[in-house]
Amino acid sequence: MPPLIKLPQTKEELEQIVALDLLCLGGFWSLKSYQKEIENPNSVLLTFVEANMTIGCGCFWSILEEAHITMLAIHPDYQGQGLGSLLLFSLLKNAHLRGLERATLEVKSSNFKAISLYQKFKFKIAGTRKKYYENGEDALIFWREDLAKEI
């Protein structure tokens, strides 16, 4: 059975998201932060679930007519199978269905896999945030106009 994209519902699912976050992103958000995301009407948090295990997660905030993608993670054992593309597509489609027109995100300048994925979805580099991450690494700011086209 292929992975299922869904909204997290239970504390166990949130705990799995936190574990995935720690594995993939180094502990980006806490359990409490993810709980706030699912309670916030301006936030969309989607997960990939396979055999009751969360193997992917993505989130965006709806800000005016913009989707600010805050995170996207796929478990390392499942990377390279197109799941990141499917999850990003789902986020962008959801943003479009909410009437949002544009999307933006930040990504580590060394994260070449993610950069390639975002460029595949027609995101363009709009600038750099110097020393944005805790380790001092720069963030590339990506921007995508017109979500209604070719999602």
Catalytic residue among 13, 34, 37, 106: 106
The yes-or-no answer on residue 101 being catalytic is no
Distance set, CA 122 to CA 3, 11, 25 (Å): 25, 35, 23
Structure-block tokens of residue 66: 């913009």
Catalytic residue among 50, 118, 132, 133: 118
Length of the chain as a residue count: 151
The yes-or-no answer on residue 118 being catalytic is yes
CA 89 to chain CA mean position, Å: 10
Q: Partners of 73 in the beta sheet?
A: 57
* Residues annotated as part of the active site: 106, 118
